[in-house]
Amino acid sequence: MGWKATAMALASLAILIPVAASLRAADLPPQPRLTGDTRIHDPSVIEVDGRYAAFGTGEQGIYRGAIKVKTSADGVNWTDAGAIGKGVPKWATEALGYQPINVWAPTISRRDGTFFLYYCLSSFGSNASAIGLMTSASFDPSKPGEGWQDQGLVLMSSPRDDFNAIDPFRIDISDGRAFLAFGSFWSGIKLRELNPQTGKLTSDDAPTFALAGRHGGAIEASSILEHDGKFYLFVSFDQCCKGVASTYNIRVGRADRIEGPYLDRDSKNMLEGGGTLVLATTGRFIGPGGQEAVKTSKGEMLAYHYYDSADGGAARLQFSPLFWTADGWPELGPL
């Protein structure tokens, strides 16, 4: 084959490769069409006895800014279930030096018979932030507001630090250890080990592992999924909280160890801004992000919010199955 023919063949192949990739994504089952009351921001979903509960950021002036909760019998049709807790805890003002107006970005998990509900307290543009914890030994998704006890501060950051203690996510891994991922902007996403039973740090000087960053740029909302012997770090890039002007998008990287290093599909380290795109704005689904990976009886799912351009930019829940490519990368069906 002459060089001209070879070049033409390579050019044709270059055209066909992205077409094949797009056809692969289009062949996946579409994401579920959720119904009912799906208004929520920064969702964290758990399944208990076949029922689902979704926890999200509290709203200023409603339930004193307490964590919002929605419930569902099937993970598709959702109902508002009020709030969790009594709003911003009493310890917050003394710890932070100001009074936060609402509770941000909760995350729920279960270890043996105890449910752990982490949350954060902050204000926009500041890293004077704190992560707190509530626990329950009797969580009932039909009565989600009952039985919670605040356990106080887990960790915090101040303007002297190079990280921001918000957007917590707990993961209990297969070897029995537990970890808390957190972080936003500044130097990025961090990881520290937890005492699995108490839910607090193993010690005040427990090592801090750096997982991902964008040299001070927009990255947050980390969650980690253990799948097939590897760890997958999901994060949100760019801007949230601006309604239809939001630019959030969901990215992922993969590691052999929970501490990293996390590399994207092109082998770029997430500490250097790497992150394979999972989902970006699609039609009326603006700025998807605030995501959290969760294992359910239906398989591995991704909960996230988007801003609905058909409803004035309201933040809404999406809860969708994760699919896996032949080379072990997560993807979502079409919206």
Catalytic residues: 42, 220
Helices (H) and strands (E) in the chain, counts: 2, 23
Please state, in angstroms and rounded to a whole number, the distance separating the CA atoms of residues 252 and 265.
Answer: 9
Task: Note whether 179 and 170 are within 8 A (CB).
Answer: yes
Pull the structure tokens for residue 276. 């394979």
Angle at CA 256, nearest 5°, toward 276 and 186?
55
β pairing state of 323-324 and 249-255: unpaired
Q: What is the SS3 string spanning 131-197?
A: EEEEEECCCCCCCCCCCCEEEEEEEEECCCCCCCCCCCEEEECCCCCEEEEECEEECCEEEEEECCC
End-to-end alpha-carbon separation of the chain, Å? 43
β pairing state of 35-36 and 77-84: parallel
- Tell me 138's DSSP state: S
Task: Note whether 261 and 269 are within 8 A (CB).
Answer: yes
CA–centroid distance for 72 within its chain: 19
β pairing state of 169-172 and 299-308: unpaired
Task: Note whether 196 and 112 are within 8 A (CB).
Answer: no
Please state, in angstroms and rounded to a whole number, the distance separating the CA atoms of residues 127 and 322.
Answer: 32
Determine which helix (DSSP H) or strand (DSSP E) holds 11, and give its type and residue range: helix 3-26
- At position 189, the amino acid (one-letter code) is I
**Residues forming a β-bridge with 307:** 286, 315
Instruction: With CA atoms as reference, report the closest residue to 107 among 309, 303, 311.
Output: 303
